[in-house]
Amino acid sequence: MKYEETEIRVRFNEVDSWGVVWHGHYIAWFEAGRMALLRKFQLQPQDFAQMGYIAPVVDLKCSYKEPARLDEEIIIRTTVLKPTKAALTFQFEVLRKRDRKLLATGEETQVLQALDGRLLYYIPPDLKKRLQNLFNYLEVPGFPA
């Protein structure tokens, strides 16, 4: 399983009065990592919408190991777990670039809804094809035949 790496730098507005990155910003970093990955495979929210779907987040967790500080360079590592149902689970690692120290880990799960609000219990073939490209890129076993 491979990770996609996305780099950012800690901004002034992300640091709290204790001088460390406020915990909520890590969730936005996960989003940045996820979008950088999904952009490569035309799987961004607007691409989903064009196909007639949305993919709401239904579960999210983050574990904090070490604080990130102002102006530090950060690497967000993003991958996807092997799918076992009609949902996508992304995993994240946040590293400090200079020593590759692990600062946080996270996981986020999205389900698939049609634009009329129906929760889809199976991933439709048009979307499966694009997702398979993503799994191949990350060397993740894809959908069962």
Partner 1 sequence: MAEDLVLELKKLIINTLKLEEIGPGDIQDDAPLFGDGLGLDSIDALELVVALEKTYNVFIPDSEVGKKVFRSVNALADFVKANRA
Q: Could you tell me the CA-to-CA distances from 79 to 9, 13, 16, 74, 127 in Å, in that order?
A: 21, 27, 28, 17, 18
Asked if residue 112 lies in contact with residue 120, where contact means CB atoms within 8 angstroms, the answer is yes
Residue placing its CB nearer to partner 1 in the complex, 42 or 113: 113
Residue placing its CB nearer to partner 1 in the complex, 102 or 114: 114
Q: Could you tell me the CA-to-CA distances from 100 to 70, 76, 128 in Å, in that order?
A: 16, 11, 34
Interaction of residue 87 with partner 1, rule CB under 8 A? yes
Site for partner 1 in 106-145 (CB under 8 A): 109, 111, 114, 118-122
Q: Could you tell me the CA-to-CA distances from 89 to 57, 101, 110, 123 in Å, in that order?
A: 10, 24, 6, 14
Q: Least CB distance from residue 122 to partner 1, whole Å?
A: 6
> Does residue 25 sit in helix, strand or coil?
helix
Q: Least CB distance from residue 144 to partner 1, whole Å?
A: 10
Q: Least CB distance from residue 104 to partner 1, whole Å?
A: 23
Would you call 16 a catalytic residue per the annotation? yes
What residues act catalytically? 16
Binding site for partner 1 (CB under 8 A): 58-59, 84-87, 109, 111, 114, 118-122
